[in-house]
Amino acid sequence: MSTPANESYGLLSDDDDVLLFKDIPESACRHLPRNFLIHLVALGAIRTGDLLASPKLVLSWLLHAAGVPAAFSAWLVPIRESDSMAPQILVAHWIRKAPRRMNYWVFGGLVQALALLGIWAAVAGLPPLAAGFS
């Protein structure tokens, strides 16, 4: 059956309609083109979000533009790098047990989006020193 998802998948992948994994039933393979495109769009959105919120560039610029003292910009990357694994360690046990992990992925994306909105609100609505501490 020729659908836009199947045609796009055919153009973007090197899949010759060969079942590569013996553990996946043939019936599940018909979902592959749609899931491939959804995954591709999701990864593109995640990468774009990562670049837009990069503490190495964008957040530093945002703090500078808001008049936050430069000392706060110096702490962005060390805090992000040191704390990035802590939440993953705390929830990894439950995520590994889950039969469907998509909900965790969506929840994490929503939390990140809310955090970015909080950063924007703090920079836009607080005095510079308070914005730096928030």
Burial, 33: exposed, middle or buried (Cβ in 10 Å; 0-12, 13-18, 19+)? buried
Question: What pLDDT was estimated at residue 104?
Answer: 84
Q: What pLDDT sits at residue 14?
A: 66
Tell me if 3 sits within 8 A of 33, measured CB to CB. Answer: yes
At residue 15, the 3 state secondary structure works out as: coil
Structure tokens at 122: 């703090």
Instruction: Please state the φ and ψ torsions of residue 15, each to the nearest 5 degrees.
Output: -80, 125
pTM of this structure: 0.57
Give the per-residue pLDDT at 112: 80
CB neighbour class for 108 (10 Å; exposed up to 12, middle 13-18, buried from 19): middle
**Alpha-carbon 79 to chain mean position:** 18
**Residue boundaries of the structural domains of the chain:** 1-52, 54-134
What's the average pLDDT block by block, 10 residues per block, for the chain (134 residues)? 70 60 69 81 86 78 86 81 77 85 84 85 88 81
Find tokens 């060390």 and name the residue: 78
**Residue 78: its pLDDT value, please?**
81
| pLDDT for the residue numbered 75 | 85
Query: What is the phi-psi region of residue 67: left when phi exceeds 0, alpha when psi lies from -120 to 50, beta otherwise?
Result: left
